[in-house]
Amino acid sequence: MNGNGSNRLITKRAFLNAKKCPRLGWETMNGAKQPLTLEAEYEFFEGNQIGGLAKKRFQNGIEIADRDPYVAENETRRVIGANPHSVLFEPAFIHRQFVARADILVPTETGFSILEVKAAMEQNLENAQGKEYLEDIAYTIWVCRSAGITISSANLWFLSRAYRYGDCEDTMFAEIECLALAEPLIEAYEADSGRIEGFLLDTRPDPLLRAECKGCERNTECFTDFYDHTIFQIPRITSAVLQGWIDEGITRVEQIEEPTGLNANQERVRQSIITGQPFLDSNALEEELCAWRYPIAYLDFETIAPAVPILPNTKPYEQIVTQFSLHIAQNEGDSICSVRSNHHEYLADPLDLHASVIGLAEAMVNALPTEGSIMTYHQAFEEGRIRWLMNWLTDQGEEGLARQLEPLLERLVDLEIAIKAGYYHPDFRGSYSIKGVLPVMIPCLTYTGLAVNKGRLASCVFSNMVLGREKEVRQKGLQTPTREDLKKYCELDTWAMVELHRKLLSFL
């Protein structure tokens, strides 16, 4: 219900989702509300944090605080009438059944300028990644104009790539004028609005299988047999190819006609799905594994990437290493118990992050063997974090410690590459991520039941510790995992590598 009766209003999110997928738009507007998670709560916090910093640029701005869109629109109209030269925060406008709330509305000589503030690094609005932000502001412009507001300019505010910790906050944002780029979208929204309004306010539409279903969190809700549509399990296939198959009525890999046009790895996956049998190339696997040298150190990092920098010489969203886990197998024949007990870990102190990052590098150098392979899972990540540590430590006057890290780079090996080279199981369902392969290859090991069970959650948990937000989070009804929970998660990542390595060796 709302202030003007039972009329339902269509939000920006519902409208834009509906343009991608009618069922997704309908669920956004009418479906059951998703429970709040720690990850979502932290994302809301960072969005509000960035929005608050942008508002500080307008000291006398007036906030339209009411969350009821009808009440907020009435208040917006009243404030504009009484204070025509005032900047407004979160003003509301309604056009038919569509509602929009601009982040900031600034009066100009010829109307108003809309400012939309994004908790993202600056984007190229003409490529695929940047287009979503252009679509976002185009909706707001369309509703405002249609509600009788003259929009003379429109700007997207992104976090500046040049901004660094300690810089003046006035330099935090990169501003991109985008009204001209948005005009074609605004026209298209008006033309399509009747159709979208019709099905969003009607009964739940039937799901339509599309390429975008591959990454949608609701795919198994819409299609209980989603995993029977095995074309989605072919790794690194483009959306255009997927959609082409779907348009031809092809949803299973055995329906793809020869020649398939797939590369060797994709064809390997296809054949494994068709036969229902694992693929094993013991020669390729042996070539990878025999290149590794003992002692083998199994290494995993965890990081945080705060939108607002919290460490000297870092930029927005720079990944800061805050934790590592390390298991060591000294010799090829080491017992599982000896490897398990040869474990080292480090978790930064959230109250002294600067000293802790230095301490982490020192602890890692001291714990790692001076020779042998350093095993990772998806090497690019760990390699990137070691390089980051080297650069950051050098900037902090720790050149000697930075130099000790450099030799580690040439010792890195990648367990993921070994699996891709020699093994595939149809139950991987197209994913080589450690959480995709572990339950298939080592069923007794699981992340289920851990208070922290994925990297994004670990990042949010530690970030809240650094920012002192744990009490605030608990007041919202959420549990706050502990330091021990973070350690258990990171330790399982490296122990999983130990077990996966042993499993691969058993295939030879």
Q: Which pLDDT does position 5 carry in this prediction?
A: 37
* Inter-residue contact 311 to 275 (CB < 8 Å): no
Kindly report, as residue ranges, where domains of CATH 3.90.320.10 are found in the chain: 12-200
Q: Which pLDDT does position 2 carry in this prediction?
A: 40
Residues 6+ apart with CB under 8 A from 365: 401, 404, 405
**Residue 297 pLDDT > 70, yes or no?**
yes
Kindly report, as residue ranges, where domains of CATH 3.30.420.10 are found in the chain: 285-506
The domain made up of 12-200 is a member of CATH 3.30.450.20: no
Band of pLDDT at residue 3, cut at 50, 70 and 90: very low
Reported as type and span, the H/E element at residue 328 is strand 320-329
Percentage, residues of the chain above pLDDT 70: 99
Strand bridging mode 320-329 / 296-304: antiparallel
Instruction: Show contacts of 454-461: CB within 8 Å, 24+ apart.
Output: 455/302, 456/39, 457/38, 457/39, 457/481, 458/302, 458/323, 458/486, 458/489, 458/490, 459/302, 459/303, 459/304, 459/305, 460/38, 460/39, 460/41, 460/42, 461/38, 461/485, 461/486
pLDDT in tens, 364-400: 999 999 999 999 999 999 999 999 999 999 999 999 9
DSSP 425: -
Q: Is 222 helix (H, G, I), strand (E, B) or coil?
A: helix
Distance CA 432, CA 207 (A): 28
The two three-digit tokens of residue 195, written as one number: 């159709």
Percentage, residues of the chain above pLDDT 90: 96
Distance CA 258, CA 240 (A): 19
For Cα atoms 427, 433, 436, give the angle at the middle one, nearest 5 degrees.
30
**Residue 445 pLDDT > 60, yes or no?**
yes
Which stretches of 350-482 are assigned E, i.e. beta strand?
A: 374-376, 412-414, 423-424
**Residue 451 pLDDT > 50, yes or no?**
yes
Q: Which pLDDT does position 32 carry in this prediction?
A: 87
Distance CA 409, CA 458 (A): 25
Burial group, residue 412, by CB count within 10 angstroms (0-12, 13-18, 19+): middle
Total Cβ atoms within 10 A of residue 85: 8
Q: What's the average model confidence in pLDDT over 479-488?
A: 98
Sole residue written with tokens 């909706």:
139
Cis peptide before 295 (omega within 30 of 0): yes
* Inter-residue contact 331 to 406 (CB < 8 Å): no
Band of pLDDT at residue 6, cut at 50, 70 and 90: very low
Reported as type and span, the H/E element at residue 198 is helix 179-200
Distance CA 63, CA 53 (A): 14
Q: What's the average model confidence in pLDDT over 274-303?
A: 97
Q: Is 157 helix (H, G, I), strand (E, B) or coil?
A: strand
**Residue 175 pLDDT > 50, yes or no?**
yes
| CATH superfamily of domain region 285-506 | Ribonuclease H-like superfamily/Ribonuclease H (3.30.420.10)
pLDDT in tens, 27-83: 999 988 889 999 999 999 999 999 999 999 999 999 999 999 999 999 999 999 999
Distance CA 278, CA 211 (A): 26
Adjacent-strand bridge partners of 95: 98
CA-closest candidate to residue 107, choices 133, 79, 139, 135: 79
**Residue 4 pLDDT > 90, yes or no?**
no
pLDDT in tens, 493-507: 999 999 999 999 999
Q: Which pLDDT does position 165 carry in this prediction?
A: 97
What pTM did the predictor assign? 0.94
pLDDT in tens, 127-155: 989 999 999 999 999 999 999 999 999 99
pLDDT in tens, 322-368: 999 999 999 998 999 999 999 999 999 999 999 999 999 999 999 99
The two three-digit tokens of residue 252, written as one number: 């299973």
